[in-house]
């Protein structure tokens, strides 16, 4: 039984009369014990989030009132205390079912919730060892590293539809077939005289580029040159983040696992990439073949699973300076909001530490789930790019 009640009052009113007092008491207990958590109504019940991830919740089901705990270790610790000599109580891996509301032991549940809170409050090492303060010099270095990463990715790719060229400091990425990879990075006042050559690079394949401009290189001259060529600012949302690798691996939520991509799971990785990024049908097949063809066991690509099903993907690109870039992070829509993306972030940050990296760069739309998860992983905002396009 899944409730679609729009608010707490309606939800409680829908419950059988003999359960309403217990539901009200449970809600009061959860709200008191889980200070700092966000209460929301999802999946037909009350859910409580920390850092955007649901950790615990409860709901009124057809045969019972169920309490859900996302950390199996916490449930196991209190398993005996909850079920010993108690009829009307049963348990699964992460679910406690009370078919008789009078059998709910609120004292034990309070201890269980407090244990969950203390378990969830482990801090990421990046909070103890913060990333260096942002300076103009560091921001310029980050921008150059992003351009270098695009060049290196192209050099290593066997996908003939993608081409990258450098025009001074500017890096231009071109992909035929209509895929959204026609992007220009690191364009600034020093490269304005290259603008016609950059546009000709794309015009040769009848393509239109998007320019991603950082605040460090933007001047009135840059804006005037692009405007004269018919470009206008369309977006101001692509955020660039930076930070340090994580010495400690954060435990993933129950049901979430992660693994390196191998020939054995490559097809799952390719399919999850297409579904996670929601590629349109007109170029999806070609793009999937490109991902499949670029497979290299030496590359750091990861597949995250939820309850054994392929749920999302992520990659880690490392340059010769020991700088790691988080890339290709996406989760299939039906597996979102289960901690898969945050697990991908934590795992790659720790993996970067394991292989000796000294710096990490990430990117995401400003204030998106990906942006917030990278911040939860310890990364800081470096700057936000503006996007310029024609048409």
Q: For residue range 260-283, what is the model confidence (pLDDT) as tens digits?
A: 999 999 999 999 999 999 999 988
**CATH numeric code, 245-357:** 3.40.630.30
Q: Beta 183-185 vs 231-243: how paired, if at all?
A: unpaired
92: pLDDT strictly greater than 70: yes
The full DSSP string for 105-147 is -HHHHHHHHHHHHHHHTPPPHHHHSPPPPP-HHHHHHHHHHHH
The full DSSP string for 317-365 is EE-TTSEEEEEEEEE-GGGTTSSHHHHHHHHHHHHHHHTT--EEEEEEE
Alpha-helix runs per DSSP H in 157-257: 195-203, 220-228
Span 188-202, average pLDDT:
95
106: pLDDT strictly greater than 50: yes
The β-bridge partners of 355 are: none
- The structure tokens listed for 273 are 């990439």
186: pLDDT strictly greater than 60: yes
Give the residue among 240, 259, 278 at the shortest CA–CA distance from 375: 240
Q: Does the domain formed by 8-120 have CATH 3.90.1150.200?
A: yes
159: pLDDT strictly greater than 60: no
Give the residue among 165, 212, 178, 200 at the shortest CA–CA distance from 285: 178
User: What's the pLDDT tens digit per position in 168-183?
Assistant: 999 998 876 555 568 8
339: pLDDT strictly greater than 50: yes
Least reliable range by pLDDT among 36-40, 109-113, 255-259: 36-40
Q: Could you tell me where the beta strands, DSSP code E, fall in the chain?
A: 38-42, 45-50, 53-60, 65-69, 89-91, 95-98, 162-167, 170-175, 183-185, 210-213, 231-243, 256-260, 300-306, 309-318, 323-331, 359-365, 380-390
Distance CA 301, CA 311 (A): 14
pTM over 0.85: no
- For residues 258 and 303, the answer to whether their CB atoms sit within 8 Å is yes
Instruction: Phi first, then psi: give them for residue 377, nearest 5 degrees.
Output: -75, -10
What average pLDDT is seen over the chain?
87
Name the more confident of 324 and 154.
324
* Sequence ranges of the domains in the chain: 8-120, 136-234, 245-357
Least reliable range by pLDDT among 10-19, 78-87, 242-251: 78-87
Span 161-165, average pLDDT:
79
**Packing angle of the helix pair 281-293, 266-277 (nearest 10 deg):** 140
Distance CA 106, CA 114 (A): 12
């Amino acid at each position: 039984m899944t409730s679609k009640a729009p608010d707490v009052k309606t939800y409680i009113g829908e419950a059988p009369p003999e359960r309403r007092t217990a539901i009200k008491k449970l809600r009061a207990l959860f709200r008191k014990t889980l200070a700092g958590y966000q209460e929301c109504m999802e999946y037909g019940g009350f859910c409580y989030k920390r850092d955007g991830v649901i950790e615990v919740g409860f709901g009124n089901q057809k045969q019972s009132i169920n309490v859900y705990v996302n950390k199996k270790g916490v449930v196991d610790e209190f398993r005996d205390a909850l079920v010993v000599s108690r009829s009307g109580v049963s348990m699964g891996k992460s679910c406690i079912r009370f078919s008789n509301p009078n059998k709910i032991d609120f004292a034990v549940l309070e201890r269980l919730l407090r244990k969950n809170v203390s378990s969830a409050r482990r801090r990421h090492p990046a909070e103890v060892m913060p990333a260096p303060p942002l300076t103009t010099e560091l921001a310029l270095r980050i921008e150059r590293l992003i351009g270098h990463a695009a060049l290196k990715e192209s050099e290593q790719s066997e996908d003939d539809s993608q081409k990258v060229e450098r025009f001074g400091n500017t890096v231009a990425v071109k992909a035929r077939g209509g895929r959204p990879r026609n992007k220009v990075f690191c364009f600034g006042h020093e490269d304005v005289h290259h603008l016609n050559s950059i546009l000709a690079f794309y015009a040769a394949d009848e393509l239109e580029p998007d320019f991603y401009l950082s605040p460090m290189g933007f001047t009135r001259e840059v804006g005037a040159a692009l405007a004269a060529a018919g470009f206008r600012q369309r977006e101001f949302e692509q955020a660039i983040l930076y930070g340090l690798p994580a010495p400690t691996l954060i435990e993933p939520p129950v049901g979430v696992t992660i693994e390196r991509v191998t020939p054995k799971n490559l097809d799952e990785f390719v399919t999850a990439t297409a579904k996670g990024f929601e590629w349109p049908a007109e170029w999806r097949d070609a793009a999937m073949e490109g991902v499949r063809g670029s497979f290299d066991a030496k590359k750091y690509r990861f597949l995250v699973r939820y309850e054994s099903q392929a749920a999302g993907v992520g990659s880690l690109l490392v340059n010769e300076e020991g700088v790691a870039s988080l890339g290709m992070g996406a989760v299939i829509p039906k597996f979102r909001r289960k901690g898969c993306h945050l697990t991908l972030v934590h795992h790659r940050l720790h993996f970067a530490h394991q292989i000796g990296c000294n710096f990490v760069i990430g990117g995401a739309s400003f204030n998106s789930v990906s942006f917030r998860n990278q911040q939860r992983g310890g990364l800081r905002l470096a700057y936000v790019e503006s996007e310029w396009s024609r048409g």
